[in-house]
Amino acid sequence: MEPKVALITGGARGIGRGIALDLAAQGWAIAICYRTSERDAEATTKAVIELGGQGIAIRSDVSDPKACRELVKRVEEKWTKIDALINAAGPYHRVNLFEETPKGWDDMFTNNLHPVFYLGQAVAPGMKTRNYGRIISFSMANADKMEAQPMVTAHYIAKVGILVLTRTLARMLAADGITVNAISPGFIDSGSAPPGELDGMAKKIPAGYIGDVKDTLSAVRYLLSDGARYVTGTNVHVSGGWGL
């Protein structure tokens, strides 16, 4: 029986890496997309194979629509299909809106929102041919509230955009057996936050503690499962109640 195939952007580190290893343990074939983290991507791919999955690491700048099409083509040529696209890449920076630069502003959309659109376009034809597919993108807890965010404005708007794009793709692809959903983490200790940023946040979280990468995995497993075949266009909060 052929393994299911997942393409994971941001799969070299953090939440993306956790998803890659979890799926590998279930026998999935994993394509890890990275842009600069070559050493981490190679280490994660090695761990995927050690866990019993198949794995490749592909360098690609998914802010480029042509690169996205080539990335999808390469994965499909290797394994004939992509069962799941997981958009886990999501760089951010913290800066006062009035001190933001045009480049910094543009980067937040170019690297957070645009790849979800480009890759969604690229994987849809193959998924539609097979009448099956799963697309999961990562937003952030409280993005659905559209609050003022003076220090992470562009990043936040991009994450709001992911929710709108998720619902739009879900509506357009539902008849083709493809589900499209979002996961919105709160404060997760994934190793990506600057030192000290998570300190003191636990008291602001109703659950009383910072989440772990493992807390996101159950949501991913469910949304990828046959049990979630009728679940599409949703936004799953994984935040311990923060952002509600």
Residues forming the active site:
156
Name the E strands within 14-154: 29-34, 54-59, 84-87, 133-138
Q: How many CB atoms lie within 10 A of CB 139?
A: 28
Angle at CA of residue 19, ends 18 and 21, nearest 5°: 65
**C-alpha–C-alpha distance, residues 72 and 81, integer Å:** 9
**C-alpha–C-alpha distance, residues 78 and 104, integer Å:** 36
Q: What is the DSSP string of 139-160?
A: --TTGGGT---TTSHHHHHHHH
Torsion angle, CA of 109/112/115/121, rounded to 10 degrees?
A: -90
